[in-house]
Structures are given as structure tokens and as C-alpha cells.
Structure 1
Amino acid sequence: MTKIELDHVTKEYGSLVAVDDIAIEFTEGAYTMILGPSGCGKSTTLRMIAGLETPTRGDVLIDGEVVTDQPPRHRNLSMVFQSLALWNHKSVRENMGFGLQMEGVDKEERNARIEEIAAVLQIEDKLDQPPSELSGGQQQRVALGRSLVRKPEVILLDEPLSSLDEKLRLEMRTELARIQQELGTTFVHVTHNQEDAMTIADEILLLNEGEVQQFGPSLDLYHEPDNEFVADFIGSPSINLFDANIVENGAVRLDAGGISLDLPERHRDQYLSVPRSDVRVGVRPESMYLGDDGESGWPAFSATVDVVETFGDYNWYYLQSDLEESLVSQSANVNVMNSLSRGDEVTVRVNPESVHLFDPKSGEAYF
């Protein structure tokens, strides 16, 4: 397996800083997602790894060797683009084997590799057909197979699912995860879709405005965000965020103006260790319990159900309270789902173990 490192890599286009001082070591054999909003530098980062862009400063290393100025063909990487660029006048076999043919691999070896990868991709019965006769998902497999037959140490994927419809996208992301696990090849995949990243990535590199916001296992970004941007970007629906003050009242209270949350005594030292009393509070929707759900000793406040969105096995409840901000709760409790509707008054209980606090100026997480 191959180790990829970005050693304080920066990419500038005139006065525009597309990527700003990224220092990252990707885990060998892992499925890594580079995630972030449009224009955050994720595709530029991938292209620097591939050798399609040269850093303004810093170095790209592969297995400890600086390859910053080496062309793509010397890096033992392969790239799958959003545009599949398949030739319909050639068969699937010819599409998959074209790169090998250009490298001088003999026909017998080419066919052996093509058939091996086609079996992994479950398109072995499509090899003699033109891509135009295949479904969108099968065409995506052909494009991936064209890269895999070269036996690269790393596969780079630039938003390969973005042009697919929802059903096909779900199927293909599952297939990508299966293929990566079966082959053990390092995958580095750019996406703007946090659901894709959360469901299949071993680790996520989250960027914003060219800077690393957090890098690590996907669940760490969800449960232990480094800052408010990470907490807000990861998760659907988004985390509830509001301003509050920490007030000592024997134990400790979060006073948000319109509502107050009295926290259990065991949280006193943790909250009072925060260096400032004014904070940003974050609570995930699934940690806001409605009605009789949750534990009776948890801090609570009253709210009115404003909108209900139904997804079958769970609902989203948009709530109006004495806070200026609208809040959202997610519930899969059948009793709650069958009893609450728009306009109902409800008690909202907050799981105190799931509260995040952020510095209101820097956005950095206290916990």
C-alpha cells in the first residue's frame, strides 16, 4: 500500500488562496473522503495529489518520496473523473484495457486483468457490449474498472456520484465501499455530499476556504467536532446552535435568555472550567427529546411544534420556543410520531451528555 502526505501544501491563483497550508498524512488502505462546500479547495487538493496541479508552496510525498514536480504517470495513481469519458465505439473490454494497451501490456495479460476486475465489479457479462448499452451504474463501474486494471496503489475519485440519480447514487456508493474493502486499495474521494462521506468513509478531511477544519474518523467529526463549522456542516438536519451564558447556581445553568437549562451537578466542574461565560451551544436534533421521551431529570423547556417532516421511520420536528432561533428535533419514537402535530405544545428534554460548547469568537470547541 502507498502512503500519501501533503507537507504544508498551498495553492494560489494570483491573489486567490485555493488551498492554505494543508499538512495531512492519509491512512494507507483507507477510504478517505475530502469533503466541504463548493469552492473550499477539495478538487484542487485532489489534483495536486494526482500531479495535475503543482503546489505554490509545500510538497506532495508518496511513500516518503517528494513527487511535487513529477508528472501523473510516475505516481502510480489512477483517477476517476465526474465525466466518465467512455468511448461508445469501443467495447467495455476495449475501454477498460485502453490504458494497459498504451503501456505496452500484451493482450493475454490485458484480458486477464480486465476479467479479474470485471468480476469484482460484477460486469463480467458486459465486456463485449458498448458502454451505451449499459445502465448509468454499470458505466460508472466501467470507468472505475479502467483505473483498477492498472493496479494502482491509490484511486482518486473526483465527485464520481454527483451526476447520478438518488437511487443509483445510493447503490454506487455501497458498491464503491465494497470494492475498496475487497481490494484494500487506498481510495481518496472528493465530494460535497456529507451523507456520502459519513456513510462510507473511514476518515474525512473536511475543508473550508482552503483550510483544514478537521481530519479523522467520520464519527469523530460528528460526535467530537473541533469547531462550530464542523458541527454545523456534518449532520442532517444540522445541529441546533444558539447563544447562552454559563451561570453558576449551585450546580450550573445555561441561560439562553428565553430558556434556561439547569445541568446536573456532575457537569459543574466541566462547564465552569470554560474560560468565558458567554458561549455558543450546540445540540444535535436526536439529543432533543419530545414529550415523555428521554429522562425526567434532564434539563427541559417548553416549545411549540411549527413544522413536521415525515420520513417514515422517523420525523423531524421544527420547534418555536422563547429562543430567537428555530430548533429541530429528530424522533423515531412511535408514540411521539403518532401524537405530535403542528401547533402542539411540547416539553423538550436535552441530553446533557450531548451538549457541545463553542467559543463565540473563534468557533473552537470547548467540548
Structure 2
Amino acid sequence: MADVILKDIRKSFGRVEVIKGVDITIEDGEFVVFVGPSGCGKSTLLRMIAGLEDITSGTLEIGGSVVNDVQPKERGIAMVFQSYAIFPHMTVRENMAFGLTIAKASKEEKESKVQEAARILQMEDLLDRKPSQLSGGQRQRVAIGRAITRKPSVFLFDEPLSNLDAALRMDMRMEIGRLHEQLAATMIYVTHDQVEAMTLADKIVVLKDGKVMQVGKPMELYHEPANKFVAGFLGAPSMNFLEVDVQELGEGSAVVSNGALEPTTVKTRGRTFTKGGKATMGIRPQYLKLAKAGEGMLHGAVTLTERLGTETVVDVSLLSGGKVIASFDEDLILTAGERLDLTFDADQAHLFHADE
């Protein structure tokens, strides 16, 4: 296997720079997920690692060697695409052996590696079927099996689950996670789905507009986001943001409030604020709790309720005219227009600069 190091990687299409100086170190055996909204550059970055896009400037190393000018087939990588990219006229066995056939491997070597990949993916009984006889999840496993047979140093996944329905996506997430544990391989995975990022990754790279916003372990990013974008992107439902006034400043804390929020002491987490100035307070929906009528820290009325069995998600219209989403880990019956008072642990809140 191999580590992957990106040093000041940039990519321009004509005069438009889409990757703007990316520095990332991916350790041997890590599962790293590039995540971000559509158009942030994550797939372009993956294609540059694969050698499918030229690098405008910067240095890319795989396994200690600079590979900027190395052909894709010589980089020791294998890529799994969103569209599966398997041949409809070939059997599963032939599809999985395709890379070995191109490399003119012996019949015995091909059969051995295909059988090993089929065992890992639990597909031994599907080897003689055609893709038209397979489900979407099985087709994606064929594409992954083709990558396994090549014994790459690095696996690259470009949104491999986006064509699957919700239940299959969950199953395939588990399959890919299990595969990583079995192979102990370096894997780089691109997705716009933050649930995939949080559940699969050893390390997440959050991208926006061709720049790295933050790199870290999933729960580090969840609990200590570097900025408002990361805070809002990771987590479902998304973090609530409230525009607040800074009333007082203390040692590592600030007292903030607005028309719907009672004065609340929030940690500043290393940021500097100005007394009398504006700030943005973030609190995740899961940390909002019901308070007794007339008590609590936030006050509003129920706008919409989603009862999901073990969870109730509530849109709350605040007295100040804003809104928050609360997520309660119980089944609640609430009616539109009902008064709702909420509280939260202020230590779970985040304070960002208003223009961040």
C-alpha cells in the first residue's frame, strides 16, 4: 500500500482556477473522504490523483514517488466510478478479470485473483451472470471486485453509491467499510453525502470552492468545526445558526442574546469578539431540549413536525422571526402553532463571526 501527499495542488481550466492550493497528507492504510457541495472540486481532485486530469501546478506523491507525469495505469491505483463502468456483454468473472486480461496475466492468475475478490465480496455464486441479471448494489460490487483484482496501492472511489436507493446505500457503506478493514488499504472516497463521510472515514477533508476548509477525524470536525461552513455542512439535520448581539466578554466566553434568545454565556473557542458587536451562534438540533412552559432559553411556536418513530424533528418559528430545527430522540405529538420553549447546554453551542 502507499501514502498519498498533495502539495500546493492547483488546477485551472483556462483562466478559471478550480483547485486553489490544496495540501493534504493521506497516510498508508487510511480511509480518507473528500466531502463538500457540488462544484467544490472534490471529483476534480480525485481525478488528478488518478491521472485522469493534468495538474496545473504543485506536487503529487504516491508511495514516496512524484507521479505528476506518470500515466494512470502506472500509478498503482484503481478507481471505482459512480456509473459502475462494467461491460454488459461480459460475465461478472470477465468484468472482474478485465484489468488482468489487459495486463496479459495468465489464466491461472486471473482465476485465482477473481476468486479471491469474489470471496471478499461474497459474490462466488454470481461469477457467471451478466450485469443485466444483477441489482444495482451487485453491479457496484463487480466494479469494486475489478479494482481488488488489480492489487492497487490506492483505491479511489468517485461517489460510488449515488445511483443506489437509500437501503442499498446503507448496505454498500457497510460493505465498503468492511472491505477497508479486510484489505487495510489506502482508500480515497469522494461524496457529497456527509452521512457517508461521517460513517466511513478515518479522516475527512471538507472542501469548498476548490479550497480545504478543514481536515480531521469525523467527530473532531463535528464537535470542533473550524468555521461556520464546516459546522453547517456536517450533521443532519444541519446546525442552527442565530444572529446574536455580544453583550459581555469574559475569559474565553461571551454573553450573547437576541429577540428570541435569553442572555447566554457561550465559549468563544479561541475567536475574538467585540462587546456590542454582532456574532452568529450555532447549536445542533440534537442538543435542543424541551423546557417547561415560560422557561428555557429559546421561545417560539411549532411550524412543522416530522415523526420518525424513535425521533421527532420539529421546525420552530422563533418570536424574533427566525427559526430553529429541534430533533428529539422520542416520539412526540405536537401541533402546528403550539407554543414551544427550548433549552440547551451552552457548552454545546458555537460562536462564529457574523461574516465568517
* Same-fold status (TM-score > 0.5): yes
Q: Counterparts of 1:1-367 in structure 2 under 5 Å?
A: 1-248=1-248, 253-263=255-265, 274-277=272-275, 278-291=278-291, 300-334=297-331, 337-338=332-333, 340-361=334-355, 363=356
**Residues 278-306 of structure 1, C-alpha deviation per residue, up to 9 Å, x if partnerless?**
2111000111111359xx9x962322111
Separation in structure 2 between the aligned mates of residue 190 and residue 5 of structure 1, nearest angstrom = 17
Contact 2:242 2:280 in 1 (8 A): yes
RMSD of aligned alpha carbons: 2.2
Contact 1:253 1:260 in 2 (8 A): no
Greater alpha carbon shift after TM alignment, 127-136 vs 281-290 = 127-136
From the superposition, tell whether residues 121 and 288 of structure 1 become closer, same or farther in structure 2 (CA, over 3 Å).
same
**Residues 11-63 of structure 1, C-alpha deviation per residue, up to 9 Å, x if partnerless?**
01112111110000013212211111111101110011011111111011112
SS of 1:248's equivalent in the other structure is strand
SS of 2:97's equivalent in the other structure is helix
**Residues 203-254 of structure 1, C-alpha deviation per residue, up to 9 Å, x if partnerless?**
1111111010111111112111100001111111111101112213999631
SS of 2:263's equivalent in the other structure is strand
From the superposition, tell whether residues 252 and 24 of structure 1 become closer, same or farther in structure 2 (CA, over 3 Å).
closer
Contact 1:246 1:271 in 2 (8 A): no
Shift of 1:123: 0.3
SS of 1:260's equivalent in the other structure is coil
Shift of 1:271: 8.0
From the superposition, tell whether residues 348 and 133 of structure 1 become closer, same or farther in structure 2 (CA, over 3 Å).
same
Contact 1:96 1:149 in 2 (8 A): yes
What letter matches 1:203 in structure 2?
K
What letter matches 1:257 in structure 2?
G
What is the TM-score of this pair, normalised by structure 2? 0.93
What is the TM-score of this pair, normalised by structure 1? 0.91
Separation in structure 2 between the aligned mates of residue 322 and residue 253 of structure 1, nearest angstrom = 20
SS of 2:95's equivalent in the other structure is helix
Gaps in structure 2 of 5+ consecutive residues: none
Greater alpha carbon shift after TM alignment, 342-351 vs 43-52 = 342-351
What letter matches 2:89 in structure 1?
H
Separation in structure 2 between the aligned mates of residue 226 and residue 272 of structure 1, nearest angstrom = 11
What letter matches 2:320 in structure 1?
L
Contact 2:40 2:210 in 1 (8 A): yes
Separation in structure 2 between the aligned mates of residue 86 and residue 271 of structure 1, nearest angstrom = 49
Contact 1:120 1:179 in 2 (8 A): yes
SS of 1:174's equivalent in the other structure is helix
